[in-house]
Amino acid sequence: MKRKNICVVGCGYVGLVTGACLAEIGHRVVCVDNDARKIEFLQKGKIPIYEPGLDRLVFQNVKNKRLSFAERLSDGLRGVNVVFIAVGTPPHPDGSADLTFIESVAREIALNLKSYTVIAEKSTVPVETGGQVERTIMRHNRKRIPFDVVSNPEFLREGTAIQDFLHPDRIVIGVTSKRAEKVMTEVYAPLKTHVVVTDLKSAELIKHASNSFLATKISFMNSVARVCELVGADATQVAEGMGLDPRIGRAFLHAGIGFGGFCLPKDLEAFHYISRKVGYDFDLLRIVKDVNEQQRILFVKKIEEAVWILKGKTIGILGVAFKPRTDDIRFAPAVDIIQRLQTQGARIRLFDPVAMTKARSVLNNVYYGRNAYDAAAGADCLALVTEWPEFKTLDFKRIKKAMTHPILIDGRNLYEPEKMKSLGFEYHGMGRAK
C-alpha cells in the first residue's frame, strides 16, 4: 500500500473513528478539533465518546506514532495528501443542514494549502455541497495550489463503527478527476471490498437516500405492527416471514418505538428538504417521519392504559441511549417518552448501562438507578426502551418482587410474551396480540 499523510478535521463520532481506523490500516493521521478541552483529553489517552474498542484502537495507534491530535488546522495540514472533513452538520428547524462548520473548514484549508491535496467530504452533507466547498477553496486559494474535492460518505453505525469501517460492505467515492480517484483508491486499498466510484453529486445523494430508505423500512414495519395489534396477529412473526424474502431482507424490520439517533432522523429531514428545494415534494418521507413520531405517542399510551392514571405513578425505564452499545441520546426516543410521561405527572426511575451521564445533562427530576433492579424498585410499570443485551438476561423473578405491580411494556419486543406471562407479568409488546 502507499501510505498517506492524512488530516481528519473533527473529533466527533465520525472523525475520531475514521482517524483511528485510517491509522490502523497504516496511514499517518492527525485529527484536528478546535475544542481545546477535547484535544487535551485525547492527548492524555482519554476518549470523549463511548464506542466499543475505540479506546484500544486510539491508544495502540498513538503508541505506534501513526495517530496524533492537534487543535489548529494549520498544524494538521502540514505535509498531508488527503483531508477528511468530518465536522458537524446539525439540522435547522426546517430540516436543512447547517453548513457553517463546513464552510469555515473549507476556507481555512484554502489558506493553508501547500501542495496538491484531496479534500474529502466525510460529513453527511446535502447534494451540491461539494461544489460549494470547491468554490470556497478556489476563492481563498490565493496561491492557486491544485486540489480536488471528493465525496466519501460514511456508513458507520454507532456501537459497531470500527467493524463497519474495517470491514465495510462498500466504499463510495464521488470524484471529478482521475487523479483524485487514484488517491482515494490508494487510501482504501487495504480494505478489500467493493468500491463504488461515482460523480460528486451522486455520492452525496447515496448517503441521504440510504438512510431515508432504512427509516422508511422501519416505519413501514411499525405501520404493519399497528395492523397486527388490531387484528390479533404478531408483528415479530410477520417480520420473520417477510424478511426471509431476499428482495426484502430481515434488517430494519423490527417493530418498536421507532428510530432515533443523529443519522436517520436528521438525514430523513434533510433529504425531504433537499427534494422540496429542487422542486419535488417527496411526501413519502414526511409520512415516514409522522409514523415514527406516532410510535412514541403509542408507547406512552400503552403505559397509560396499563396503569390508568399516570399522575403519581412510578415508571421504571430500561435504556435511554437511542440504540444499544452507544451512549448517544441525540434524538433518542427514550428522551421524548420520558418527558411525555413527566408532563402527565409520572415519576421516573431510569437505568442505562452507559448513557446515564449524558442523560443527566438532558433529563431533570429523574431517579438514576444503580442497575436495572434499582430502576424497577417500587415501579408501577417497567418499560423497556433500549434493547441492551444485558436486559435480555435479567432475573425477572427478582424484578417482579421489586415492583409494586408487575407490568412490563416491551418497546423493542425483546421478550417472549408467554414467558413473561408465565412469570406473572402483565405483558404488552409492539404489534403483538394482547
Distance, in Å, from the CA atom of 139 to the CA atom of 272, rounded to the nearest integer, reads: 30
Question: In one letter, which amino acid is 168?
Answer: P
Among 11, 21, 31, 263, which one carries the catalytic annotation? 263
Question: In one letter, which amino acid is 242?
Answer: M
Distance, in Å, from the CA atom of 371 to the CA atom of 230, rounded to the nearest integer, reads: 35
The answer to whether 212 and 139 are in contact (CB under 8 A) is no
Distance, in Å, from the CA atom of 137 to the CA atom of 147, rounded to the nearest integer, reads: 9
Distance, in Å, from the CA atom of 21 to the CA atom of 10, rounded to the nearest integer, reads: 14
Distance, in Å, from the CA atom of 307 to the CA atom of 405, rounded to the nearest integer, reads: 9
Whether 11 is a known active-site residue: answer no
Give 347-390 as a 3 state SS string: EEEEECCCCHHHHHCCCCCEEECCCHHHHHCCCCEEEECCCCHH
Starting at the earlier edge strand, list the strands of the sheet with 67-70.
Answer: 67-70, 28-32, 5-9, 82-85, 117-121, 147-151, 171-175, 195-199
Distance, in Å, from the CA atom of 109 to the CA atom of 132, rounded to the nearest integer, reads: 14
Distance, in Å, from the CA atom of 126 to the CA atom of 99, rounded to the nearest integer, reads: 9
Q: How far from each other are the two terminal CA atoms of the chain, in whole angstroms? A: 59
Give 386: exposed, middle or buried? Use CB within 10 Å, 0-12, 13-18, 19+.
buried
Closest to 29 measured CA to CA, from 92, 78, 102, 74: 78
Mind telling me the catalytic residues?
263
